Structure formats: C-alpha cells, structure tokens
Chain A
Amino acid sequence: MNTLSTTTKTKTFPKGGVHPKEFKFSAKNSIESIPLPKNVFVPLTQHLGARAKPVVNPGDKVKVGQLIAEADGFVSANIHSPVSGTVKNIDEVIDQTGYKQRAVIIETEGDEWLADIELSKNIKRDCNLSTQEISDKIFKAGIVGLGGATFPTHVKLKIPPGKKLEHLIINGVECEPFLTSDHRLMLEKGEEIIIGIKILMKVLNTDKAIIGIEVNKPDAINNLSDIASKYPGIEIHPLKVHYPQGGERQLVRAITGKEVPPPPSGLPIDVGCIIINVGTAFAVYEAVQKNKPLVERVVTVTGKSLKKPSNFLVRLGTTISHIISVCGGLPSDTGKIISGGPMMGKALASLDIPVTKGTSGIVIIPENEAKREEVSNCIRCGRCVEYCPLGLEPYLYMTLVERNMIDKAEEVKIHYCCECGCCSYTCPANRPLTDYIRLGKNIVLYNIKKRQTKKDG
C-alpha cells in the first residue's frame, strides 16, 4: 500500500455529504514568509479549554519562542511570543469569536530567537528521547490541533485508562474549498511530517499510522507515498473528494469503517482512533527535533478577486490586514472575510483580528457572492436530511429552536450535529438551518453540562 496504485479503491464515508466547487487557487503557490508586522496581538485563548495565564508584564522584553502565557488547567495550552520586542500591554482585543478576548500586545523589534531553537532547514531524522520527554516537549511547545478545532495535542495523546489505540490517523484531507495550507505543507515538508508522525507513533506506542488524503491532491499523495516507503508502518489511504471528510467522525468512518459514538461523551478513542492533522504532525516535528514552539503556522490567503492568492508562513498574532496588504491589498468588491474555509469558517467583523493557532486560511468573498438569498418556507424536500452526514433532521431542529423548544430539540439529539453546514448548503429555500442548529446545540450542551455538574456536586 505504500505506493499509490491507480486501481486502489478510494474510500469515503457512506451517508450524506456534498461536493462544493473547490476553487483551490493557491494550490500551485509555494509557502512564503511575509515581513514581520509592527505589532502582534496574541490572544490568550487560542485553543479549546481554559484561558492561558499570562507570565509577562507590560514593558518586558521578549524573544521569539519565549513563554508569555502558561497553560492554566488540564485542557489548556502554553502560548509563546511570536516576535521579539517589548510587551506593550495586556488588553482586550476582538478576535475570531467576534467578541473581545484578553491578548498580549507586543511591539516588534528585530527578530531575535531564543538560543536553544534550531533554525536551520536540515532535516533531523533521529529521535532518541523517551516517551515522557517527547510528551513534555509537545506540552511545553503549546501544540494544539491545527486543523481548526485547536484541541491541545498533549491532552489528546494521553489515552484514557481502559481505552486502546488501534489506529493513528493523520488528517491530510483538507476538504474545505479554497484552502491549500495542508496541501502545500504535504508537498514541501513531506519528510518532516513523516518524521513527526514517527514521533507521535513512538509516544502512542503504536507501529502503524494511516494518512488520509483526498484524491484531488495527487501530487501530495505521491510525494508522501514516496517518502513513507522509507519509513515502515506509515500507510497512505487515498480518499474520494467528499465534504466533510476532514471531520473526525467522517474520517474515522471512511478509513476504519467504525462509527464514533455520539457527542457529548463519544470520542474517536472510543473506537480506538486518534486523529492528528498533518500541520500538527509538522509542528510536533519542529517542537521535538528543533525545540521550536508553536509560534507560526501556514495560512492560505485566497479569494476570487484577490490579486495574489498565496500560502504564507505567518507568525501568530499578525493581523489579517497586514497579511492582506502583503498579497496586494483588499479587493474593492470585498463583501465578506472568512477565517477558515467557506463551509465552516467564521466571518470576520474587522480587519484587526489576529491570526491564531486555529486559523488555516483567510478567504475573501466578493460582495455579489457574500449576500445570502432570501429565505422562504421549508418545502420539505428532505435535502437537509439526505445530505446530513450524521443522519440528523436539520429542518426539524431549526423549527424547534425557532420556537424555543430546546428540551424537545435535545430529545431528537440536536447536539449530535457537527456544524458542517451541508444542510444550509443544499437548502433550496435558503433557510439558515446551521445558524439555528448551532444556537440550539450550544444551549443543549450547556444544559447537559449543568445537569452533569449538579449530579456530581
């Protein structure tokens, strides 16, 4: 299986899903660095879980890679300075959530890295550290899932007692339209990714890993297959182009045929799987082999009317406006700016929002495509049910949430939704199904948590 044969049957998940037009404009453009911004805004919540606790004060001098906020709690992650310079302030700035969050504001002066970080491009293949040492390094480097969910990786690598790992799955699907950051990374940093996977395999004490890549990236499949042939135990599985295959549940189903139990308690580890994004695997390589904490990531900047769609290696905390100015300025017909892909990304309210660990791309949508069509009555066509990859009933959920019947919505399992947006995408009446479901899901999950704590306490 190490070499890709054209006869291999491509796998996918069986039910639902859509195939939006791909628009991968930036797939041929290699990853570039951009000039450092004057100021960076580093939010203290760049990960799922508790907010990190700042350990610097205004006026402090920091170097690149220096710890500026430490993990506060079990599910939390360290945050490091992405630039060298002076801490100006710790204040509230608007971030991708659309609300103000606490952030460390640093004024850039030069580009001085911490001494123990290795900056050379030489590939370091051997890793003789113990499992514990590797875990510690991953934790210290503040690595989180770079696919978008930003779940702290060191937590993910701790397999809960009683569970057994069967498959380590590496997610190179990148099923969102427009985005190409993982694609470019697999082409340019293939060997580093594979070494990162090897390190993860060592931590997890497994001798097998599967990389899932959709067949619209044949160059990435070939590149990784060539490299992986030198490293036993790593397999490449080509997958059919099928949104939302990059979602954990769909990917596990596509590769192993198993169904992850439903939320809020069900996790991939329940069926013996751990899923790591290729970007995360690369970050693990850098952290373990080069001592480099997570201070930069690849961000795709793209859009139909953007002059130069690109893939940039961006320091965290750089504002969107700085990045856009590098690739030719904001097009005059801009209607919407999205952080992430068009199917699941968040529309940004301002250009001053900083890039965080979860920002995989910035998509600029022109005015004429940004507007939503007029909403009409549900005609019960059943497309939302047909295309829902999780076998749910979006039309019903929207009505229930609209009428504030949250308990009933919980009964019909609104919280199983993964917010992939296939229902809204296919709805001929343009109903804002995902909008209402997300709201209802949030309330239901909150209620469940409240009941849980009540029962425990």
Chain B
Amino acid sequence: MDKNNLLKVSFAPHAHGGQSVSQIMLYVIVALLPAMLVGIWVFGPKALEITLTAVISCVLFEYFTQKFILKVKPTINDFSAAVTGVLLAFNLPSNIPLWMVVIGSFAAIVIAKMTYGGIGNNPFNPALVGRVFLLVSFPVAMTSWPKPFAYTVGGVDVITAATPLSILKEGVKNTEALTTIMAKMPSYLDLFIGIRGGCIGEISVLALILGGIYLLYKKIISWHIPVSMIFGILIFSGILWLTDPSKYADPFFHIMTGGVFLGAIFMATDMVTSPITPKGKLIFGSLIGILVILIRVFGAYPEGVSFAILIMNAFVPLIDRYTRPKRFGE
C-alpha cells in the first residue's frame, strides 16, 4: 500500500461547514464596496488612490513582518490585512499625502497587529490604531477635508471644508447660538447620501447601511453591536438634547454625522476586538455610544468614534468574563 492509500484517522467531526476566515474577510470587503464607490464619487480618484495605497502597504507590511522578522508562514491570503487597509483608508481624508497613508498602515499592521501575534491576538482594532496614530502625529493633515466634488473643479488641496461635527465644535467654542450653527449644516438628505465633508468611507450612511445589511444577511456580523451603539448615541444625546435643546444638537444629527455608521457596522463589529456573547455585545455597543457622545460634547475632539471604540476594545476581556453564556441545565 503506498502512502496515498493509507486511511486517514482524526477526531470527529469529519465534516466542516465550509466557511473560512478568508471567506469572511472577502464578504467584509464586498460589503465595503458601496461606501468606497460613494467615496470615489464624492472625492474623486484620489480616494481610490489612497485606498489602494493603504491596502497594498498593509498587505506588504504583513507579508514582510511575518516572513523576515517573525519567521512564520505569512497569512496574507486570509485577506485580513486587506480589510484593515480598506478600513484605514476609509478613516482618512482624501487629500492626505500618500506617505502618511503608508505610515498609518505601518502602525496598523506592525504595531497594532503583528506585535501581539497576528490575526486574532490584537486587543485593539488595527485600522483604528493606524488612524489615531496619524491623527496625533499629523493633526493638520488629518483634519482638513476637501469639499465634496472639489476634484471636478480642480485643486483638491485648496478647497477644504469642515465636517459637520467640526463646524459644531467650532461654533460651540465661539459661543454661537445652536440655531446659527445648524444653519451651516448640510441637509439630512445630503448627510444620508453622503454629500458632505469627511473621511473617504464615513460619509454615506446609505452605502454603509447597504453593506451592513449584506453582512447581516451573510451572518458575518450580528445586529447587537450596531444597534446598541446607535441606540446608545440616540438615547444619551437625546437626554442631553431634552435637557437643553438650545445648547445640544439633536440625536439624529449625532448619528448621521461623523463615523458613527462606519464605526458601528464595520469597526466595532470587528470579531477579534469585540465581545463574543450577545449580552456582551450589547454592553459593548451601548458603552461605545455613550463614550462617543461624551467625547463629542465634552471632549476636545469634534469626533470620538475611533477613541470610543479603542477604549472599549480594552474592556473586551473584562466584558467576556462577566457575560458568559448560560450553560444548559444549570
């Protein structure tokens, strides 16, 4: 009997459901496509350029770190580095220099992922670490956004527009009345479709919701984190708004602006850095929502989704520990 005819022996089960890590990551990339298309439509080819740069540099960083420094088999074929790249690019303004994107990818892959042992072991969302790294290193480049459709009239770097949230923050700082601030805002319809200043991937609520529905349908994410996070924002900002509507923005403004939907659907639901049980997910999501509003209303930064998610990432082991599933028969 030659070696190929020997009977294989292993433990049960001898069947597998068929879903693999690379498949999950591919579904996530597909779900991110509508938001990417809106980003390219609104910000022009520069958006595509940045996304490609981020993806390629993330994949290469992962490959080289694993091949030459850690000396393990590279895991780039699971597409997790590609997902990190897309998400990182989605969190950047479209006029950022490409070399900064490469630095961000370095922070995301090498610092936030590989130093902890690669996929599955990182406590913090790599793409968000990359973004925050860039935000504290290059605050100006990271907070000047081109106006929507500026590329069609030329001079991408020149015409910049503030995001709705920074308009709000500036206005509050200058003690303007809330009504005058709100008058400068894009309409809710524009916010929903994505015609506004902001990072590449965060602008279109519609496209992000489409991607989210796709992921829910494919059972890659569950509804717990996005829903609880958005409800957390709605309820907490709603309470503030009810106490003083002339001082605080209304809750719908809060969920429609900034990176709330990108964060809720794609960043907070990252499997590695979110709790495992439904109960834990609900706690995790709603606390992110509350933190987002705390940072936006009382903090120094106009936007707080990245920081809120990163802070809650640190609590995931604790949440997992106290939200064990109910064992059968106990």
Tell me the A residues contacting B by CB distance below 8 Å.
15, 18, 20, 98, 177, 249, 253, 259-262, 266, 334-338, 340, 342-351, 363, 365, 367, 370-373, 376-382, 385, 388-393, 395, 412-413, 416, 419, 421, 424-426, 428-430, 432, 434-435, 438
For residue A390, which residue of chain B has the nearest CB? B328
Other-chain contact of A373, B16, B24, B271 (Cβ < 8 Å): B16
Contact between chains at A376 and B21 (CB < 8 Å): yes
Contact between chains at B13 and A342 (CB < 8 Å): yes
User: What are 15 A-B contacts with C-beta separation under 8 Å?
Assistant: A249-B328, A335-B7, A336-B8, A340-B12, A343-B14, A347-B14, A349-B9, A350-B7, A370-B8, A379-B119, A385-B325, A426-B19, A428-B21, A434-B11, A435-B11
Contact between chains at A424 and B20 (CB < 8 Å): no
Residues of B within 8 A of A393 (CB): 276, 324-325
Tell me the B residues contacting A by CB distance below 8 Å.
4-5, 7-17, 19-21, 23-24, 75, 78, 80, 117-121, 271-274, 276-277, 324-330
Residues of B within 8 A of A413 (CB): 327
Contact between chains at A425 and B271 (CB < 8 Å): no
For residue A348, which residue of chain B has the nearest CB? B7
> Contacts A343-B12, A393-B324, A419-B12 hold; do A425 and B329 have CB atoms under 8 A apart?
no
CB distance from A275 to the nearest CB of B (A): 15
Residues of A within 8 A of B4 (CB): 367
CB distance from B258 to the nearest CB of A (A): 27
Rounded to whole angstroms, the CA-CA distance of A385 and B323 in the bound complex is 12
Rounded to whole angstroms, the CA-CA distance of A18 and B13 in the bound complex is 12
Rounded to whole angstroms, the CA-CA distance of A30 and B17 in the bound complex is 30
For residue B5, which residue of chain A has the nearest CB? A334
Residues of A within 8 A of B326 (CB): 391
Contact between chains at B10 and A372 (CB < 8 Å): yes
Rounded to whole angstroms, the CA-CA distance of A349 and B325 in the bound complex is 37
Contact between chains at A262 and B329 (CB < 8 Å): yes
For residue A437, which residue of chain B has the nearest CB? B11
Contact between chains at A379 and B329 (CB < 8 Å): no
CB distance from A227 to the nearest CB of B (A): 34
CB distance from A386 to the nearest CB of B (A): 8
Rounded to whole angstroms, the CA-CA distance of A393 and B117 in the bound complex is 22
Residues of B within 8 A of A351 (CB): 7
Residues of B within 8 A of A20 (CB): 15, 17
Contact between chains at A434 and B14 (CB < 8 Å): no
Listed residue (B8, B13, B24, B75) with the most chain A CB atoms within 10 angstroms of its CB: B13
CB distance from A154 to the nearest CB of B (A): 26
Contact between chains at B7 and A337 (CB < 8 Å): yes
Residues of A within 8 A of B330 (CB): 261-262
Residues of A within 8 A of B17 (CB): 18, 20, 425-426
Give 10 nearest A-B pairs by CB, closest first: A421-B13, A377-B120, A382-B276, A390-B328, A435-B11, A342-B14, A381-B271, A391-B325, A262-B329, A342-B15
